[in-house]
Structure 1
Amino acid sequence: MDTKFTKPKSFGEILDHTFSLSKDRFKDFFLILLIFMGPVYLIEAIIQLLSGTSFFRAVGSGNGWFEQILSSFKETQTIDPNSLATELKTLVGTIIVGFIGALFFPVAKAAVLLVIQRVQKNEEYTIGLMIKQAFLRFFPILWSNILYYLIYFGLFVASIILVAFTGGIVSSKNLILGIVLAILLGLGCIVGMACLMTRWSFYFGSVVLDHQSPGFTRSWRLSRKRTWISIGLYLVFYLITICIDSAVQSTFALVLGNSVLLSIIVNIVTLLTSLFFYVGYGVIYLDLKTRHDADDLKEMIDDYDITTL
């Protein structure tokens, strides 16, 4: 077994392991994501071309260069105002692309996790075998994902109702107190949802690596005493992803405008940041398993010592 996986890691060690693993196995991870995400991004680019978006550089109306670049984004929001059919076809195409991505991007994430597991065990693997094994978990992944996001949606709606209802009642008697209470309740709901969804978020690793569906109970057990650390790691991964995506998009948008080439570049960057995020998720999950297994072993040793006294 790879020694980096054999002991529990601190916050910084998890980040360091994520970076090093992403670098060492970059070719394999990138190929997996390219196989799944590449065709989806290609279809998206074709839809943009068919809708009339310029490939290399899109500029709109205006006197100056900067004004033309800005107007290109505003003008292409309505793709073809004189053709309702074009708008409908583009909308349908976008929905189909999103649907395909929602179905198969999780399979790419599963294949990445399977590679990380093989690396952990120092076992040989091929990309084709990892993809095949990931597809074997397609339906458990699908219905577990649906259930997870239904829970998220339910908590979100319940939070809005709670904040609006409580804040509205109190505001009818004291406006300032009602606003303050609504803000405090809103922040509390955000923190509460973050904790709950983080505790359940490791269901995916359980479904893929441990073949337990939907995996929420196991995720809850694994993340015990590691909730805030996990939230912090998620925040770091999200911030890195957002900063890189925003920097690349804003930089190339100044030159290319709202063109198809800009969309392709942004999608490639999204692929790279997704790679980093998936690897980070896998490292966190395996670290939680290591901690959980160590705790179980310690409890067994303690129980054995007690019974032998």
Structure 2
Amino acid sequence: MMESIRKPMGVGAVLDRSFQLYRSHFVTAFLFVLLFYGPFYFLQTFVLYDTGTAPLLPDSGTTVSSSMELFLRGSESSVDGMPDTGTMVFIFLLMPLYMLLVFPASIASQLHLVQSVLEGRPVRFGEVLRKSFTRYGKTLLFSFLYALIMITVQGMIGTVLVIALMLVVTLTAGLGSGLLELANDPLAGGLTFIVVFMIIYLLSILVVMAGSSFFIIRFGYFLPIISVDNGQDPLGRSWRLTRGHFWRIFLILVVLTVIYTVFSLGLYALVIGVFKMSLIGQLILVVLSLLIMPIFTIPYALLYFDLRVRNEGSDLEQVLSGWTAGQQVEQQESAAAQARETDDQARESTAEDRETTVQPRESTEERKTE
């Protein structure tokens, strides 16, 4: 694998290497996800779903349709149709706080895992975990700043979206009335109006998603800059690092989102179909959800090292060559030291043999003298 990651990678190469790496280091990657996100997912299951009345094992009397309905409805604990206090506290306080505190270290763990693989070093869970909390305070600070920037951007995009939708409604309403007047068939004119409205609406949604993703991607590589390189101005450097690569990264994220969605829906349908809404089914669903989470985190790490190769001259081939040369020097020095130690032992053994030979001779000469 390392031989093929010595030059900039295309979209297919990034995806292929990501799945290879996850398959090769499946246990370690999953343990990190389980460590950082497992408590949150399990707590979410018990808070947002009515697990208090759910049976431990699947109930033969429960149908798949009723289980799916209950799953989609979520928790039934509400007052006058509103979520209860515990659910509100979890969604608006515990969830953002937990993600803010855990997110930097969780991403850093995947970054250091990928870096160890690229540099040919053995992946040790304890070592990677320790590195994940290196410069934790700085990553936490910039994660908070990143969140504020994204909230601001989302607010601006939301405002633009509302204005755009108002214009779309106005324009399509005028266009629709014109079509109804011009068309001999009112039904055809109405259908044309609906099609035009849907096209404009979908294009607006696509533009909004691309605009939001633009800032998420351009600022989104501040974490590896801090955690891996201990760089300065991480947000600014992330902006420069991703310049000219937005659409490539965006395409990779779209492909990963499609893969993740297909896997998620398939797992949900399978678990609900087999285990219904039982407690054991919910726990299995949590574990399976954690299993597919590295589909996003590992490509994110690989993309960072690929961007360094493309933009900052940090060629992985040079890194690899330097590491290999260092290893060779260490091996040569170790071999030389062993050779010197062997020579010293041989000389000491020869000297001892000589002393053993000289002593009988001295004893014989002493007897002759007597």
Superposition TM-score, scaled by structure 2 size: 0.66
1:58 to 1:193, Cα distance in 2 relative to 1, 3 A: same
For 2:11, the aligned partner's letter is F
2:215 is the counterpart of 1:196: yes
Structure 2 distance, partners of 1:122, 1:201, is 26
Deviation at 1:165, TM superposition (A): 3.1
Question: Structure 2: where are the runs of 5+ without partners?
Answer: 177-196, 316-370
Structure 2 distance, partners of 1:197, 1:212, is 19
1:14-53 superposed matches below 5 A: 14-44=14-44, 52-53=52-53
For 2:85, the aligned partner's letter is L
Q: 1:268 aligns with which of 272, 279, 287?
A: 287
- Mark the structure with the bigger radius of gyration: 2
User: Corresponding residue for 1:254?
Assistant: 273
2:298 is the counterpart of 1:279: yes
User: Corresponding residue for 1:127?
Assistant: 125
Aligned length: 292
8 Å CA contact retained: 2:100, 2:143: no
Partner of 1:54, secondary structure, is: coil
Structure 2 distance, partners of 1:74, 1:5, is 43
Partner of 2:293, secondary structure, is: helix
Structure 2 distance, partners of 1:135, 1:295, is 24
1:183-235 CA-partner distances (Å, limit 9, x unpaired) = 75554333233233222222222122122366222112222222111111111
User: Corresponding residue for 2:5?
Assistant: 5
For 1:265, the aligned partner's letter is I
1:141-156 superposed matches below 5 A: 141-156=139-154
Structure 1 distance, partners of 2:62, 2:33, is 40
Deviation at 1:71, TM superposition (A): 4.8
1:12-62 CA-partner distances (Å, limit 9, x unpaired) = 1111111111111112212222222233344445657996142534779xx
Structure 2 distance, partners of 1:163, 1:45, is 33
1:34-93 CA-partner distances (Å, limit 9, x unpaired) = 222233344445657996142534779xx97245324533775313779x9x94345545
1:175 to 1:150, Cα distance in 2 relative to 1, 3 A: farther
Structure 2 distance, partners of 1:58, 1:81, is 29
For 2:304, the aligned partner's letter is Y
Q: 1:241 aligns with which of 242, 260, 263?
A: 260
8 Å CA contact retained: 1:45, 1:260: no
User: Corresponding residue for 2:85?
Assistant: 88
Structure 2 distance, partners of 1:177, 1:213, is 53
1:159-192 CA-partner distances (Å, limit 9, x unpaired) = 2222323554686688446978777555433323
Superposition TM-score, scaled by structure 1 size: 0.78
1:164 to 1:97, Cα distance in 2 relative to 1, 3 A: closer
Deviation at 1:287, TM superposition (A): 0.7
Partner of 2:312, secondary structure, is: helix
1:154 to 1:283, Cα distance in 2 relative to 1, 3 A: same
User: Corresponding residue for 1:304?
Assistant: none
Deviation at 1:8, TM superposition (A): 0.9
Deviates more, 1:197-206 or 1:50-59: 50-59
User: Corresponding residue for 2:324?
Assistant: none
Q: Between the two proteins, what is the percent identity of the paired residues?
A: 22
Question: Structure 1: where are the runs of 5+ without partners?
Answer: 297-309
2:221 is the counterpart of 1:224: no
8 Å CA contact retained: 2:104, 2:223: no
RMSD: 3.6
Deviation at 1:3, TM superposition (A): 2.8
